[in-house]
Structure 1
Amino acid sequence: MDQAPGSPQGPQGPQDQGSKDARSLPTCYRHPDRETGIRCTRCERPICPECMISASVGFQCPDCVRDGSGTGHAPTANQPRTLAGGTQTRDTRLLTKILIGVNVVMFLAQLRLGDRFTDRLELIGRAYVPSLGSLEGVAEGQWYRMLTSMFLHGSYIHILFNMLSLWWLGGPLEAALGRARYFALYFVSGLAGSGLTYLLAAQNQPSLGASGAVFGLFGATAVLMRRLNYDMRPIIALLVINLIFTFGWSNIAWQAHIGGLVGGVVVGYAMVHAPREKRTLIQYGTCALVLAVVVVATLVRTAQLT
């Protein structure tokens, strides 16, 4: 991970003062291209989500944690934590890379094995599938389709746009939340998209793609940027453009996009706003609640189709 050298001056030095005059927010001392409203509670230097480490009070920068000055203990006494309370790791994009790799491998399998492979794993309510010669769908007890469909794509353009969005949104979220919470956000958002699609779409309409999970990342990114007092205009503009494509382009399962977006906003809010005393309980409890809604919606739809 490339890192910009820190400024040798303190929080009131000429360089930092100039930044305040020129910008509405100061920039991270290790990443000058990132504005932030958070400062290290020890040295008061501005820090971005990737650099902030949870301390007993507020957040500290990596330098203060490394030399032990922030806690009064040896650097290894406390495990560095992310904004959401997750464990901080060296490679903040590892899980994002793995998710992209899984999507690419599944797409290559689709190209190699053909329709029979895709027809077995895509999301469909209940329909006769000629390539399989049988009645297929979630209503037939194939609940796994709600998960497997998240890793399938219909074309090169489809997977390209989804993977670019995953790379752009996933890295910062993985750094801010930690791998476990980021993993939960991704899958809960994707399943929320699958759940709403199964509930509202025609029973014989197949659906596939990582778009539900990606829209969940959009929602969580907006929540995180709001939490850090970042300029919301870029993410809002990008989200509006994607929603225009969602409702203006044919053959797009808008239910997956909206379901994923709502799931991402709800889970993302719990991740970054949960009070520290009950943080883990609230964060994963919210994930469980969203999944419970998905299960109820799935049961309701299955009862309608059988």
Structure 2
Amino acid sequence: MTFRPPPSQSPSPPTQVCVRHPDRPTGLACSRCGRPACPDCLTPAAVGQHCVDCVRASGRQVSVARTIGAKTAWATYGLMAINIALFVIVAAQARSISEVRSSQVFVDGALWGPFMASGEYWRLLTAGFLHFSLIHVGINMFSLYILGRDVELTLGTVRFLGIYLTSLLGGSAMVMLLGDSLAINAGASGAIFGLMGATLIVVLKAKIPATGVYGIIGLNVVLSFTIPNISLWAHLGGLAFGAAAAAGIVYGPQLLPAKARNPRNATAVGFLTMGVLIVVALAIGIVKAQTLTF
């Protein structure tokens, strides 16, 4: 949710390449053998993801394991289409691609303290689908394409959407709690920072070097602190909520008793974690809005 996004906000591509497809950079790896692999070469397991060779070695069927992950990143592409379509509408209303705040759709959906104080709580969600300019939406959609595919194909479409929603609302909640209540906030970068956090958790769970991911996150956090007109709290809130949601999915099942550790219960733990985080984010945003006076 940036006010004026810098071009450098989009994450850098991963430095590793898939062992089976050297032309494909990837930040993922097999959680069994540790070799880097692209999403098409990974089969999500109940915990982590296995490469094609490890799946064959264990005798597991790809079709069974694929019920956890996704074959195509349809949700990522769908979110990109929604964001782009809304920007086209907003730009048409404002008759500009660089200054769209006169658009009625933008006015009705952006996150702004005075409107939140009057009870328009839907802005916690809708602000994450609106952007200030063509550059803004372009940077965020490029970042979503890079990060969204890996997260969705590894964890599955429904889990990916859960992380995205949790991150978006978490970013909005932190803007309301700690940000300037008179600043207008919009953009998908809170959710995108959440995908950065989720990527880090997946990489750590796979026990592969996370130096590149740490570097990307660190660089973007530093830029959020140093560049004017950036919604710092949307970025940090999205990062924290996205990482927490992913941790609930990949680490949460380990908290279950040994006899209860099965795919069904593991799924329940992940969704319970995301549900709690969403409720917390909504509560923070709404309660803070109710305390505002103008």
- Sequence identity percentage: 33
Flag the 1:155–1:48 CA change in 2: closer, same or farther, 3 A.
closer
Q: Map residues 210-289 of structure 1 onto 2, 5 A cutoff.
A: 210-275=188-253, 276-277=261-262, 278-289=265-276
Q: Does 1:167 align with 2:145?
A: yes
Residue aligning to 2:105: 117
1:51 pairs with 21, 34, 41, which one?
41
Q: Which amino acid aligns with 1:70?
A: G
SS at match of 1:79: helix
Q: Map residues 19-38 of structure 1 onto 2, 5 A cutoff.
A: 30-32=20-22, 36-38=29-31
2:75 pairs with 95, 108, 112, which one?
95
Q: Is the 8 A contact 1:39 1:47 kept in 2?
A: no
Q: Does 1:80 align with 2:65?
A: yes
TM-score by structure 1 length?
Answer: 0.74
Q: Which amino acid aligns with 2:59?
A: G
Q: Which amino acid aligns with 1:179?
A: T
- 49-58 or 184-193, which deviates more: 49-58
Deviation at 1:174, TM superposition (A): 0.6
Q: Does 1:108 align with 2:108?
A: no
Flag the 1:70–1:54 CA change in 2: closer, same or farther, 3 A.
farther
Q: Map residues 179-198 of structure 1 onto 2, 5 A cutoff.
A: 179-198=157-176
Per-residue CA deviations over 1:195-240 (Å, capped at 9, x if unaligned) read 1111222322110000100000011111111111222121111112
Partners of 1:249 and 1:148 lie apart in 2 by 25
Deviation at 1:158, TM superposition (A): 1.3
Higher helix share goes to which structure? 2
SS at match of 1:231: coil
Partners of 1:119 and 1:251 lie apart in 2 by 19
Partners of 2:46 and 2:132 lie apart in 1 by 48
Higher Cα radius of gyration: 1
Partners of 1:49 and 1:97 lie apart in 2 by 15
Flag the 1:30–1:159 CA change in 2: closer, same or farther, 3 A.
same
Residue aligning to 1:5: none
Count of residues paired in the alignment = 258
Give unpaired runs (5+ residues) of structure 1: 1-25, 127-136
Residue aligning to 1:141: 119
- 161-170 or 47-56, which deviates more: 47-56
Per-residue CA deviations over 1:59-94 (Å, capped at 9, x if unaligned) read 6655787x99825xxx69x6323xxxx534332x21
Give unpaired runs (5+ residues) of structure 2: 1-15, 95-101, 254-260
Q: Which amino acid aligns with 1:89?
A: A
Deviation at 1:262, TM superposition (A): 0.3
